[in-house]
Amino acid sequence: MEQKAYSLTPYLLRHKGYYITGILLLLAVDLSSLYIPQFTGNLIDGLAGGNFGMEQVRLILLKILAVGLIMMAGRFGWRYFIVGASRKVEYEMRNDMFRHLESLSTSYFNTHKTGNLMAYFTNDLEAVRMATGFAVITVFDAVVMTLMVLGKMILYVDMKLTACAFIPLILVAIGCYYFNIYMEKCQEQRQDAFSLLSDRVQESITGIRTVKAFVQEEKDFGEFERISADNMKKNLAVVKLRAIFGPALDAVTGISILIALLIGGKMVLAGEISIGKFVAFNSYIGMLVWPLIACGDCINTFSQAAAAFRRIASIFEEKPDIIDKALSEGELKNIKIQGSIRFNHLTFQYPDGTEPVLCDLSLDIRQGEMLGILGRTGSGKSSLADLLLRIYDCKEGSLLIDGKNITEYPLAVLHRDVAYVPQDNFLFSDTLEENIAFGLSERITDRPELRKSIRQAAKDACIHDNIMEFPDEYMTVVGERGVTLSGGQKQRSSIARALLMDAPILILDDAMSAVDTDTEEKILENLVSLRKGKTTILIAHRISTLRKADHVAVLTDGTLTEYGTHEELLANKGFYAHIYEKQQLEKGLEEEQNENS
């Protein structure tokens, strides 16, 4: 079944009542404004002919006042309804875009930069909002107002004079066509340049500590200056185009007014039209200026919105690599993972990779077992975690949980029942309490009694004492990505977050690399007692982390080369034993240095 292209139509239809009401009010304003020049002309003719007394003058002034009040109320109304509808469209699109981004697979974010995606939520959505708000108003005025003013000029003043004055305005239609083609191209380049600039700023600020550490401020600024100059160049291209188009419209308008003055003046002298109608005609010519300017604004706004919408649509056209099962909350609650895992002749290669990272891997993990995984960098250790979290799916072999293929479990169940501590610990710019509680389905504000469990998890992860030393204790707000904490504190906070979930399966991916050996020993002892009956996978480079595991699997270039208990692997005199001896030697040398110092 062919997938429908992403469209703006459903958003507009949801608010059609607002748009229809706003357009009707706009029509009432435009119709009302047509009568002011006519009333003014009638007043001039009446006074010039001596036919008007104060009563007639007052009556016309009251009519003008009534029209003014109608226009005032109408202008408030169309702004409320049309601009209000455009804000609702923007709100809904932003929410849908964010929800869709969250549904995309990790591979999408590997190839799309954060700064670029941020530009979609700012510049691009604003461009669409302008097109669905003020541009609707300007389009209406550019078309309907022009037709109504021309009709009034023909019916109230003179058809021949109207035709002569309007002929130059035909040039506007031709110019608008070509202007639109070139403007759309310029707008797309401008928005791409802004995305690049936004991405560069985000990346530089995020990595400012690295920039300073390597004394690369000047180089970084030079790169920023180059991208900023390109952004300026693209913006100036749009500005120059507007600068040409605006005066061109003014020139055409001026020619029309000049023709009206020349021909209209002769017609007044010849007695073909009255002075009042001549004044009214010139007022109508002036009223055509706004639709002409609106025409240029419309083209600019719609060109920008078209380019922005194509970029936004490209996000919605992306589909997740991982297909999930849609189940109700009740059905999800009935699915429980126990914790047995089986890798059955599994071969896995990353979508953008050229070689498999796991080759014909077969491994059984019993429920309640603690399995250690050891291997050199790039041996496929973290890939096992990626597969268990279904960040990726394997195409060869199978991965079974409790005897069922992992693809049979909804993602919501996997992410609920598989707790994970990644290598790159991410903490949000929030309180430590909220960061530890992040994995819970309920918020602390709704269930304050959760604070006791949070503190216990922090104690089990050996971070509680550190937290209590902070001035605000658990209410301490950590910096962006947890930058105000040390590496070990971030790791232990992440471990506490995972322990709080009390999931049937826990994966720690090199989660204690920044923790000292004494603290590591305490955390491992806590894990042994806390995780009884629950499956735990410890991925590590240090043998000290794996010693308490029931079994240890050694991976070499994606292949299982050793498997057994700590004692069995030492007896085998293989890679595991070699790494153990090396690390023991390093530990001995370190202790000797500490004693000497």
pLDDT at 519: 86
CA distances from 217 to 204, 205, 210, 213 (A): 10, 11, 10, 9
Task: Indicate the average pLDDT of the chain.
Answer: 81
Distance CA(597)–CA(592), nearest Å, equals 9
CA dihedral (65, 68, 73, 76) positive or negative: negative
The DSSP element (H or E) to which 142 belongs, if any, is none
Confirm if 433 and 464 have CB atoms less than 8 A apart: no
User: Is the model's pLDDT at 198 over the cut of 70?
Assistant: yes
Pick the more confident residue, 591 or 18. 18
Mean predicted confidence (pLDDT) in 432-457: 80
Cα–Cα distance measured from residue 142 to residue 289, given in angstroms and rounded to the nearest whole number: 10
344: pLDDT strictly greater than 70: yes
- Confidence grade of residue 292 (pLDDT, cut at 50, 70, 90): low
Give the count of beta carbons closer than 10 Å to the beta carbon of residue 66. Answer: 12
The pLDDT assigned to 46 comes to 76
Which pTM does this prediction carry? 0.69
Residue 68 contacts residue 82 (beta carbons within 8 Å): no
pLDDT-above-90 percentage for the chain: 6
Q: Which residue has the higher pLDDT, 539 or 449?
A: 539
Domains contained in the chain, CATH given: 9-317 (1.20.1560.10), 333-427+494-596 (3.40.50.300)
The confidence score (pLDDT) of residue 2 equals 44
Of 28, 30, 64, the closest CA to residue 44 belongs to: 64
As a dihedral over the C-alpha atoms of residue 80, residue 81, residue 84, residue 88, rounded to 10 degrees, the angle is 160
Q: Mean pLDDT across the stretch 112-117?
A: 75
Q: How confident is the model at residue 544, as a pLDDT?
A: 82
User: pLDDT, tens digit, for every residue of 382-439?
Assistant: 888 888 888 888 888 889 998 888 888 888 888 888 888 888 778 887 888 888 888 7
pLDDT tens column, 42-89: 777 777 767 777 788 888 888 888 888 988 998 898 889 998 999 999
Burial of 115: CB neighbours in 10 Å, binned 0-12, 13-18, 19+: buried
CA quadruple 319, 320, 322, 323: dihedral, nearest 10: -50
Question: What pLDDT was estimated at residue 1?
Answer: 37
